[in-house]
């Protein structure tokens, strides 16, 4: 199962990935999470990507592809992977194709989580994340049991810096401009599956499983 999750910011990629990865026993690789972890560690990579991530612009292709190619080379990815937030440009997709083809690891499926822009803005503006363990909540649709505290580890819930209204608008423009063309790209390759992401989390997951279960038996 070599999978990609595609969708606008806030479409629910991370939420679904945290269910898909354990169900199919594959690692969840989120470039956004990797960049945020590196920024928190104040590593070289973190300082190179920080201004891009905080302002809602894309990190340069060569840095994003380098991170993913290195990660896909690790042993836990040999039997499958779930990419979340990568690729985000046609140039990134082409590098990924070349890498996977050379390694004889064809893509199994690209799941496009389709969501209206108004709902994207609603979801992102009410998202909160645990600053300690990274768990994701939504003040409206998936609230924590105790206000501002993580159910799992008790860490403080914060708003991501790039979830502020102005930055979200910028991220959506970047998505329309650079990432949306990937829908046609993967459609042409015959691997695209579209899932209506405008439903409750469990229903979206059930639709995803309906697509993936038959593929996992091949």
127 annotated active-site: yes
d(CA 128, CA 126): 7
132-138 contacts: CB < 8 A, separation 24 or more?
A: 132/156, 134/33, 136/14, 136/15, 136/18
- Cβ of residue 199: shortest distance to ligand AP5, in angstroms? 6
Write down the catalytic residue from 13, 36, 123, 128. 13
Q: Is 56 in the site for ligand AP5 (CB under 6 A)?
A: yes
> Closest separation between CB of residue 114 and ligand AP5, Å?
12
> Pattern of binders to ligand AP5 over 89-128, x per CB under 6 A?
---x------------------------------xx--x-
Q: What is the size of the binding site for ligand AP5 (CB under 6 A)?
A: 36
Using rule CB under 6 A, residue 28 touches ligand AP5: no
Neighbours of 9 (CB within 10 A): 24
Of 142, 134, 126, give the one whose Cα is nearest residue 205.
142
Q: Name the active-site residue from 57, 114, 160, 170.
A: 160
Q: Does 138 bind ligand AP5 (CB under 6 A)?
A: yes
Strand order in the sheet with 109-114: 28-30, 81-84, 2-7, 109-114, 192-196
Q: Does residue 159 touch ligand AP5 according to CB under 6 A?
A: no
Distances (CA, A) of 150 to 1, 85, 158: 31, 24, 10
Strands 109-114 and 157-158: unpaired
For binding to ligand AP5 (CB under 6 A), which residues are involved?
7, 9-15, 31-32, 35, 52-53, 56-59, 64, 85-86, 88, 92, 123-124, 127, 136-138, 141-142, 162, 171, 197, 200-201, 204
């Amino acid at each position: 199962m070599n999978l990609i999750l595609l969708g606008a910011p806030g479409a629910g990629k991370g939420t679904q990935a945290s269910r898909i990865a354990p169900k199919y026993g594959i690692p969840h690789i989120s470039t956004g999470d990797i960049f945020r972890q590196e920024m928190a560690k104040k590593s070289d990579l973190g300082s190179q990507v920080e201004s891009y991530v905080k302002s809602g612009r894309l990190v340069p292709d060569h840095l994003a592809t380098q991170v993913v190619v290195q990660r896909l080379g690790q042993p836990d990815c040999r039997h499958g992977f779930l990419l979340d937030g990568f690729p985000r440009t046609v140039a990134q997709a082409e590098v990924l194709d070349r890498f996977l083809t050379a390694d004889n690891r064809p893509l199994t499926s690209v799941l496009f989580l389709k969501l209206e822009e108004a709902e994207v803005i609603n979801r992102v503006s009410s998202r909160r994340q645990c600053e300690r363990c990274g768990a994701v909540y939504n003040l409206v649709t998936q609230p924590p049991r105790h206000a501002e505290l993580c159910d799992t580890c008790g860490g403080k819930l914060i708003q991501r810096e790039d979830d502020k209204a102005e930055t979200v608008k910028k991220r959506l423009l970047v998505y329309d401009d650079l990432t949306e063309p990937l829908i046609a790209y993967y459609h042409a390759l015959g691997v695209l599956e579209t899932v209506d992401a405008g439903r409750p989390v469990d229903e979206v997951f059930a639709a995803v499983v309906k697509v993936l279960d038959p593929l996992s038996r091949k």
